[in-house]
Amino acid sequence: MLSEQSVQIIKSTVPVLEVHGVAITKRFYELLFGAHPELLHIFNHANQKQGRQQTALANAVYAAALHIENLAAILPAVKQIAHKHRSLGVKPEHYPIVGTYLLKAIKEVLGDAATEDILNAWAEAYGIIADAFIGVEAEMYDRAHAQAGGWEGFRAFRIGRKVRESDVITSFYLVPEDGGAIAGFEPGQYVSVKIDIPGDSHTHIRQYSLSDSPGKPYYRISVKREDAAQDRPAGKVSTYLQEYAGEGSVIRLSAPAGDFVLNRTDDRPVVLISGGVGLTPMVSMLNALAEKHPHRPVTFIHAAQNGGVHAMKRQVDELAGKQPQLSVYYCYGQPTAADRERQSFHKEGYVDLPWLKSVIAQPDAGYYFCGPLPFMRTVRRALREWGIPESDVHFEFFGPAASLETA
């Protein structure tokens, strides 16, 4: 328990730290990686460079600090981060290290304003927040390990099959090297993939949604090629997987994780809305629904730039041909002449509320969506405007969680 005085200090200094949030976390990472370069094997360097992780961590610590007297109130957010931490292999012994350098960074950036009382209060608060994370993560580690086919840490998987799904997306069918069973998962969950890239002194870890339903002897991930753009270099792991890893190559995976999952007990209709590579968890959900809940009405809506980059179309269309309760709609941003000729899409331009209203026949449903940030903002706003209850709306970010309203 924090003393009343410390609670007051924390609450009054959160706004100050928020003002300096990015400077503090930027300095924090410099200090952290300077003293513990081994942690560079866990963190995503691209997120670091773009400052996205800095903001995510800063926001999470300040949000937690504001609820320091009742951390249970932010348990869903803690769980979401804890899933990511568990999947990456963050351990209890890492927390004091992070705490030490966070405190050092606060002290450096605030200078004289960081009195001893302030620093002590934050050290105490950090300890409480860290304990909450450690507790939630310990349960997750136990569960991942105890589950049939489960494992701890990273396990070697061989690429059994590599299948091109579109001009930019390729699927990898992954089977365990040890020939053992693999853990079940909930449709919507992801795995962390750990890669050693020849000539690169760091290992790299990325999360990819599982793109097929559970219960198969393999895990499938579907990876988008991330070419270099003006503001970012080409994706290291995605390029390695797409260009260099072939059938027979071995990569390492941690057990499935994530709290963006299909509610299988709700038997109302389901609406799955995806943009681009955001379709991967949706196809997992779609396949699971078709296999286990074939009578549940499903509307599958997918937005892509054009037919060339539209992945898994044939699989989804074939399923729709077999399942009368499944309705499929495609929205292309810039259809090609061939797309028009084949009539392979239903709407041109962007997903919007009038169109969603026109294709979703049963709006009293569970809604799941995933895609690029602008797409997600649009869908979120549209569902709100339509009056869909928040409790029926579920979404997943690829990359550090950000706010749909502000990010």
Question: By CB under 6 A, is residue 33 in contact with ligand HEM?
Answer: no
- Give the binding range for ligand HEM (CB under 6 A) out of 58-66, 333-341, 372-380, 386-394: 58-66
Question: By CB under 6 A, is residue 133 in contact with ligand HEM?
Answer: yes
Closest approach, Cβ 28 to ligand HEM, in A, equals 11
Tell me whether residue 65 or residue 245 sits nearer to ligand HEM (CB atom).
65
**Residue 137: active-site member:** yes
Q: Which of 29, 95, 157, 367 binds ligand HEM (CB under 6 A)?
A: 95
Size of the site for ligand HEM (CB under 6 A): 24
Question: By CB under 6 A, is residue 101 in contact with ligand HEM?
Answer: no
Closest approach, Cβ 176 to ligand HEM, in A, equals 24
- Give the binding range for ligand HEM (CB under 6 A) out of 17-25, 86-94, 143-151, 311-319: 86-94
Question: By CB under 6 A, is residue 388 in contact with ligand HEM?
Answer: no
Closest approach, Cβ 43 to ligand HEM, in A, equals 4
- Give the binding range for ligand HEM (CB under 6 A) out of 41-49, 140-148, 150-158, 301-309: 41-49
Q: Which of 25, 53, 213, 242 binds ligand HEM (CB under 6 A)?
A: 53
Tell me whether residue 85 or residue 252 sits nearer to ligand HEM (CB atom).
85
Closest alpha carbon to 83 in 403, 351, 407, 401:
401
Tokens of 297: 């009405």
Closest alpha carbon to 110 in 7, 20, 26:
20
Question: By CB under 6 A, is residue 90 in contact with ligand HEM?
Answer: yes
Contacts of 391 (CB under 8 A, 6+ apart): none
Residue 196: strand pairing partners: 203
Closest approach, Cβ 118 to ligand HEM, in A, equals 18
- Give the binding range for ligand HEM (CB under 6 A) out of 127-135, 158-166, 255-263, 323-331: 127-135
Tell me whether residue 94 or residue 302 sits nearer to ligand HEM (CB atom).
94
Question: By CB under 6 A, is residue 105 in contact with ligand HEM?
Answer: no
Active-site position among 137, 165, 186, 226: 137
Cα–Cα distance measured from residue 271 to residue 282, given in angstroms and rounded to the nearest whole number: 10
Closest alpha carbon to 353 in 325, 331, 326, 335:
331
Question: By CB under 6 A, is residue 56 in contact with ligand HEM?
Answer: yes
In single-letter form, the type of residue at position 376 comes to: M
Closest approach, Cβ 96 to ligand HEM, in A, equals 8
Q: Which of 125, 129, 195, 271 binds ligand HEM (CB under 6 A)?
A: 129
**Residue 30: active-site member:** no
Site for ligand HEM, residues 153 to 182, rule: CB under 6 A: none
HEC string of the chain equals CCCHHHHHHHHHHHHHHHHCHHHHHHHHHHHHHHHCHHHHHCCCHHHHHCCHHHHHHHHHHHHHHHCCCCHHHHHHHHHHHHHHHHHHCCCCCHHHHHHHHHHHHHHHHHHHHCCHHHHHHHHHHHHHHHHHHHHHHHHHHHHHHHCCCCCCCCEEEEEEEEEECCCCEEEEEEEECCCCCCCCCCCCCEEEEEEECCCCCCEEEEEEEECCCCCCCCEEEEEECCCCECCECCCHHHHHHHHHCCCCCEEEECCCECCCCCCCCCCCCEEEEEEHHHHHHHHHHHHHHHHHCCCCCEEEEEEECCHHHCCCHHHHHHHHHHCCCEEEEEEECCCCHHHHHHCCCCEECCCCHHHHHHHCCCCCCEEEEECCHHHHHHHHHHHHHHCCCHHHEEEECCCCCCCCCCC
Cα–Cα distance measured from residue 337 to residue 349, given in angstroms and rounded to the nearest whole number: 15
- Give the binding range for ligand HEM (CB under 6 A) out of 49-57, 150-158, 171-179, 352-360: 49-57
Closest approach, Cβ 243 to ligand HEM, in A, equals 22
Closest approach, Cβ 13 to ligand HEM, in A, equals 16
Closest approach, Cβ 52 to ligand HEM, in A, equals 7
Question: By CB under 6 A, is residue 136 in contact with ligand HEM?
Answer: no
Q: Which residues are the active-site residues? A: 95, 137
Which residues in this chain contact ligand HEM in the complex, by CB under 6 A? 39, 42-44, 47, 53, 56-57, 60-61, 64, 81, 84-85, 88, 90, 94-95, 98, 129-130, 133, 400-401
